[in-house]
A and B are shown apart, each in its own frame.
Chain A
Amino acid sequence: MTAPRIPDASPAVSPPGVRGPKRRGVELVLLLGAALISVCGYAEVGLAHDGAVPPDAARYGAGLGLLALLAHLAVRFRAPYADPLLLPIAVLLNGLGLVLIYRLDLETPRDQAATTQLVWSTLGVALFIVVVLLLRDHRALQGYAYVCVAAALALMILPIFFPAVNGARIWIRIGGLSFQPGEFAKILLAVFFAAYLSANLSALAYAGRRIWRFQFPTWRVLGPVVAIWLLSVGVLVLERDLGTSLLFFGLFVIMLYVATGRTGWIAIGLLLAAAGAFLIGSVEPHVHSRVQDWLDPYASIRAGEGPGQLAQSLFSFAAGGMLGTGLGLGHSVLIGFATKSDFILATAGEELGFVGLTALFLLYALFVARGYRAGLSLRDPFGRLLAVGLASIVALQVFVIAGGVMGLIPLTGMAMPFLAQGGSSVVTNWVIVALLVRVSDSARAPQPETADTGEPARVEAGR
């Protein structure tokens, strides 16, 4: 990255001391690249499938470019020091997701999802702009910790009163639109965890009893966190959404570890998780069948019932091989159910191959790494925990769903961030990007005064 410095970073406003460049120009170039790659993918799908570029390719490209430009302007005006990679990666993943969904729409004429997804993406970007414009300082969120947790619980409880869809009570249907409130709850929970843990940092780290080699914090401090966590997990188990449950658990353990540094918590957390997973896996029939599928994806073939969903997904990945069949030329639609949502990665694997899939994974990894980087650079514990929490949400979600559809871990229903069909997921992910842009702006912006964090101010090293 050797882009020239942006002219508006005039020395007049820069305070004395070392500061990072804004790199807004880099972001703009990368955004154009992201939009261009998406349009190329869109055109390639049309060429491979019908032998002609889709007639609305230019419109699609212009729309995506406009969205990216608006988001960029918002960042330029309100978060000029934000990490320049976050927004382009999000746009690229969202654009590729639209391409993949459009590509699958060609195989399912009765189920068109790309347009809806585009509307949701627009909504997501709008929300991104709103958050970036309105939220001037992420520390403002710290004061809403209990509002956040109350809202999160309400959102998670709400779907219980709505009919179950595909065996999971995680949907709210109003009119023609369905919404998955649990998706949004994960951000609220991350904010709450970050706020609560940062407020009780010293109490968690230094107070409490010591039992054998592990030091436990006092129940007075830890109690509320565990209670709320248990409640949320309980609600999820009732709703049978195991993927999200697993995500919350992982998020909780990681944030607790980062806040306290207690390895013991990780050990206890993992033990609890293993015990819980075993219990649920052997008791709950829905989950039990998923585990059986994972242990032997080809059992149904031997039983003469044809390949199951996971076997079809693995066939799809295998058909991709090293370089893939090319966009629009695979047969991932054979998976049948949830091709555009949970199994969208199979289409990417089959048509883009191992190379393309690796590129996708690396994009996610880069996104997560930028989030962690912001967490490392920040001076306030709340911001650090928030950045780590938000980045971990993306990392865990990618692992749980990608590992699930590729047979690494038992399959749990969850949306691949940005790629998969699903309005609530896309909107939520755009809010995550907005929050990460906000904290990264704080992390990289020149400090007007020494932050009152109780730690010595750290000098940014270049970059």
Chain B
Amino acid sequence: MIRYIRRAAALCLLLLVALLVNAVRVMLVEAEELDANPANRRSAIAHWAEPRGEIVVDGRPVTGSRDSGQQLRWERTYRRGPLYAPVTGYASQTYGTTMLEHAEDALLAGTDPVLAPLPLWNDLTRGRSPGGDVVTTIRASMQEAAYRGLDGKRGAVVALEPSSGRILALVSSPSYEPGVLSGTGADVKDAWARLTASPHQPLLNRALRQTYPPGSTFKIVTAAAALDSGVVRDVDAPTDTPDPFVLPGTRQVLPNEARGCEDASLAYALQWSCNTVMAGLGVDVGLEGMVGAAERFGFDDPSLRVPSWVAKSNFDREMSPDQLALSSIGQFDTTATPLQMAMVAAAVANTGEIARPYLVDRRTTSGGTTVDRTPRRPYRQAMNPSTALQLQRLMVRAVEEGTGSNAAIPGARVGGKTGTAQHGFGNTGTPYAWFIAWAQAEDSARPAVAVAVVVEDAEAARTDISGGGSAAPIARDVMREALRLEAEARAAPGAPGAFGAPRASGTTPPARPRGAPGARTPESAPSPPSRELPVTRPRGAPGSDARTRGTG
């Protein structure tokens, strides 16, 4: 019998081994897969188990948390939610996260390893740090000025600091209260249904995610291409463009809203927004040149993050000449986000170079210790510095005595460009009114702000003036606020930068034109205006008068 008892014991041992092997399978081998199963609520429970970190604007958090006592415990609240919704996005137990709430989710929720006191500490202890804070670059007064200016009309405003790329205002209208999406109840579902069904699309972040035909504001890009490629050497010289202009290869006539556009100079064409001249210049530059120029401004870049994801602005890569002509005046398939057009204005203001736009100044632990700071990073060189300086002059002229006169600010140097984009089937929709601009205080070394405004339901007639009529005053108010803040910052001794950005030692003061010899390829013409350095002009440089009138 002893032998049989031993065998029975061996059977029990076998059962034990089977249990242990199976435990290894479930708890160690398949664990990761099971943890990631969407039906497993554990990750969601852990995600909402602690109050999220705050999103901070101008030193004050615009977010908060409330204890719901539910399974997904801490729910998000917002201070002035509709105003900051394009910045924060929402953090919903039911519908996930968007915008900064999404892009910085790991930090806000406390899972980001940078928050751990020691490397791998949280993995080891299975703990989680308290959520860190995200300090934005947004300036509250500018944000409010833009929001007030749009006044519930459909549209968007983006303001940048050209020298650094800091996003100072990011407004989309009409907006929504993101707090109504926090939680899991039926009212959250109702709110979601209401917001998604609304014809005004309040959830759409028009500043970053909606692309519009840029209309005449795109003429800045075309002008930069014409100057950089040498198609235009003297902005004041007449161009060879007929009016009316027949689109190449078709019998379609391109109309002008402005007068006196026949053979007008580039300067006149920008000042009064001549379609014929700019379409002709675009065709002269050629498809390759125009695509290259547009891409240098950031078009066709699907990877831009601020860190919220930004929709791709489009400039077609394959077109017939008539399509190219229309694209050169911001029509046809050309579309741009308001952020993209703010970057165009910033490129002109920052002497051709675009600093990578960003929304997060720094990220901190819940205790306020800075974890990291977004550095100033160059994005692209959109055009030659001399081209930028010439365009600055032309944009200033458009404001002083052209279509953008509504944007003028006494005591400041303001450059702008209006735009009206037709859209809809047979161009029957209400045109979009655009205005892009930059402003520089008279006593300042560099422009303080670049701004793009788009208003969808502008009530003005289908003239180019609508951009100047509806959008330009909004841009003016935002820029005025920016100049006031800059002046304040300069008045305060020891202030780091105009908008709180630390001036990194490596950052070149943007007032000085960039591009010392050797830094540029010989093809890039014209060379920067510089009195000290010998001017290298490999082939066909523009007239010297363009340079001598450069601003300093």
Give A contacts to B, CB under 8 Å.
254, 257-259, 261, 298, 301, 306-307, 311, 314-315, 317-323, 325-326, 329, 331, 334, 349, 353-354, 357-358, 361, 364-365, 368-369, 372, 375-376, 381, 384, 388, 391-392, 395-396, 398-399, 402-403, 406-408
Contact = CB atoms under 8 A, between A and B. Distances in A.
B45 interface: yes
Nearest to A455: B1
Contacts of B126: 323, 325-326, 329
Interface residues of B, number: 37
8 contacts: A318-B32, A318-B33, A319-B34, A319-B42, A331-B41, A331-B42, A392-B8, A395-B15
B5 to A, nearest CB: 5
A86 B39 CA distance: 42
Interface in B38-73: 38-42, 45
Contacts of B18: 399, 403, 408
Contact of B9 (A364, A369, A398): A369
A358 B23 contact: yes
A343 B149 CA distance: 61
B461 interface: no
Given A298-B37, A301-B37, A403-B19, A318 B1 contact: no
Given A318-B30, A331-B42, A388 B15 contact: no
Contacts of B31: 317-321
Interface string B1-38: 11111111101110110111011101110111111011
A213 B23 CA distance: 39
Nearest to A394: B12
A334 B41 contact: yes
Given A307-B39, A326-B126, A361 B26 contact: no
Contacts of A331: 41-42, 45
A349 B1 contact: no
B1 A258 contact: yes
A317 B19 contact: no
Contacts of A321: 27-28, 31
B28 A361 contact: no
A221 B389 CA distance: 112
Contact of B39 (A306, A365, A398): A306
Contacts of B40: 307, 315, 318-319
A16 B18 CA distance: 45
Nearest to B32: A318
A400 to B, nearest CB: 9
Contacts of B26: 314, 317-318, 406-407
A397 B19 CA distance: 12
Contacts of B1: 258-259, 261, 381, 384
Given A298-B37, A334-B41, A372-B12, A258 B19 contact: no
Contact of A317 (B5, B13, B23, B38): B23
A258 B6 CA distance: 9
B39 A354 contact: no
Contact of B20 (A254, A361, A368, A372): A361
A318 B15 contact: no
B396 to A, nearest CB: 62
B27 A388 contact: no
Most chain-A Cβ atoms within 10 A of its Cβ — which of B1, B7, B33, B126? B1
Contacts of B20: 358, 361
Contacts of A353: 27
A197 B6 CA distance: 18
A376 B40 CA distance: 47
Nearest to A364: B16
Contacts of A257: 4, 7-8
A114 to B, nearest CB: 22
Contacts of A354: 23-24, 27-28
Interface in B482-520: none
Interface in B174-220: none
Contacts of A388: 5, 8
A376 B5 contact: yes
Most chain-A Cβ atoms within 10 A of its Cβ — which of B8, B18, B45? B8
A325 B30 CA distance: 17
- In the A-B complex, list the 9 residue pairs whose CB atoms are closest, starting with the nearest: A318-B34, A318-B31, A307-B39, A301-B39, A408-B22, A399-B15, A395-B12, A315-B40, A354-B27
B122 to A, nearest CB: 13
Interface string B155-168: 00000000000000
Contacts of A311: 37, 39
Contacts of A258: 1, 4-5, 8
A372 B23 contact: no
B34 A399 contact: no
Contact of A399 (B19, B24, B38): B19
A315 B8 contact: no
Contacts of B28: 321-322, 354
Given A261-B1, A315-B34, A361 B19 contact: yes
B5 A315 contact: no
Given A259-B1, A318-B40, A408-B19, 12 more contacts: A311-B39, A314-B34, A318-B26, A318-B35, A358-B20, A358-B23, A361-B20, A372-B5, A372-B8, A372-B12, A376-B5, A407-B22
A252 to B, nearest CB: 13
Contacts of A306: 39
Contacts of B38: 301
A320 B27 contact: yes
B27 to A, nearest CB: 5
Contacts of A381: 1
Contact of B6 (A322, A365, A376): A376
A407 B29 CA distance: 14
Contacts of A315: 34-35, 37, 39-40, 42
A402 B19 contact: yes
Nearest to A381: B1
A38 B6 CA distance: 33
A234 to B, nearest CB: 26
Nearest to B13: A365
Given A376-B2, A376-B6, A322 B16 contact: no
Most chain-B Cβ atoms within 10 A of its Cβ — which of A257, A307, A318? A318
B35 to A, nearest CB: 6
B382 to A, nearest CB: 50
A406 B19 contact: yes
A105 B433 CA distance: 63
Contacts of B39: 298, 301, 306-307, 311, 315
Contacts of A298: 37, 39
Contacts of B4: 257-259, 261
A321 B25 CA distance: 10
A357 B4 CA distance: 29
Contacts of A259: 1, 4
Contacts of A254: 8, 11
A381 B9 CA distance: 17
Given A317-B27, A372-B9, A406 B34 contact: no
A326 B41 CA distance: 18
A394 to B, nearest CB: 9
